[in-house]
């Protein structure tokens, strides 16, 4: 009988570990969903952007399972943390949370939270900063990709990329030589290819009235 005891103990230990891994994965799904997969609003944008701009969420957007380490083999997590949805929230963090080299909010932030009080001046107010201009370009690209045709935003994009605007830009994009030691941001103008899904569509639907 004593020969079976170690085997039984090992089997019991395996069951306990499996249960702990399942609980850990469920906990990680809940935590990451509530912190990194959130749409900022006028009421919570500062709080949400602080979380979405932190290292954990940035690592999550780049490689979800490097953060959700207990979920690598979990079907629910793989479905929830799919490439398209992760790209959507990375995009959302970019347009809602990008700051200039001095840590000031970019004009595109207001467009992201459906605050159109000064939409006509968003280009003019972005020209001084490459970080803000890049984020606004991402917004225009995705908006025009979905809506296909909008003369107002097409003209605004042309203005944003004109020499009159670009010659004013300070290169304050995170990681550039001029930006070392400056405040953190979530700027990434190269992410748009995978963006999609109902979350992004619902975000942009309200813009179609313009």
| Predicted local confidence at residue 36, as pLDDT | 94
pLDDT tens-digit profile of 163-196?
999 999 888 887 554 444 343 443 344 443 333 3
| Predicted local confidence at residue 45, as pLDDT | 87
| Predicted local confidence at residue 175, as pLDDT | 57
The angle, 0 to 180 degrees and rounded to 10, between the axes of the packed helices 151-160 and 130-147 is 150
Overall domain count for the chain? 1
Q: Record the tokens describing residue 32, joined without a space.
A: 């990451």
Radius of gyration of the chain (CA): 22
CB 122 within 8 A of CB 150: no
Look up the pTM and report it.
Answer: 0.65
Q: Which domain holds residue 27?
A: 4-209
CB 102 within 8 A of CB 58: no
- Residue 155, class by beta-carbon neighbours within 10 Å (0-12 exposed, 13-18 middle, 19+ buried)? exposed
Q: Which residues of the chain have pLDDT under 70?
A: 1-23, 116-117, 175-210
CA pair distance 202, 206, nearest whole angstrom = 7
CB 93 within 8 A of CB 57: yes
| Predicted local confidence at residue 176, as pLDDT | 53
- Measuring CA to CA, how many Å separate 18 from each of 25, 31, 32? 11, 20, 21
Question: How far is C-alpha 4 from the chain's CA centre?
Answer: 53
For 137, the enclosing helix (H) or strand (E) is helix 130-147
């Amino acid at each position: 009988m004593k020969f079976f005891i170690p085997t039984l103990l090992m089997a019991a230990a395996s069951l306990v570990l499996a249960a702990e891994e399942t609980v850990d994965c469920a906990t990680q799904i809940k935590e990451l969903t509530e912190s990194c997969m959130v749409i900022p609003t006028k009421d919570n944008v500062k709080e949400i952007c602080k979380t979405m701009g932190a290292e954990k969420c940035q690592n999550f957007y780049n490689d979800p399972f490097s953060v959700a380490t207990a979920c690598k083999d979990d079907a629910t997590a793989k479905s929830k943390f799919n490439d398209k949805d992760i790209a959507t929230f990375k995009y959302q963090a970019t347009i809602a949370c990008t700051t200039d080299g001095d840590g000031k909010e970019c004009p595109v932030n207001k467009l992201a939270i459906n605050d159109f009080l000064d939409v006509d001046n968003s280009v003019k107010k972005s020209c001084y900063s490459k970080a803000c201009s890049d984020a606004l370009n991402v917004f225009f690209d995705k908006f025009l990709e979905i809506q296909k045709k909008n003369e107002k935003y097409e003209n605004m994009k042309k203005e944003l990329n004109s020499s009159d605007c670009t010659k004013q830009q300070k290169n304050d994009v995170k990681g550039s030589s001029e930006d070392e030691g400056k405040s953190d941001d979530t700027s990434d103008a190269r992410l748009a290819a995978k963006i999609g899904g109902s979350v992004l569509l619902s975000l942009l639907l309200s813009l179609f009235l313009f």
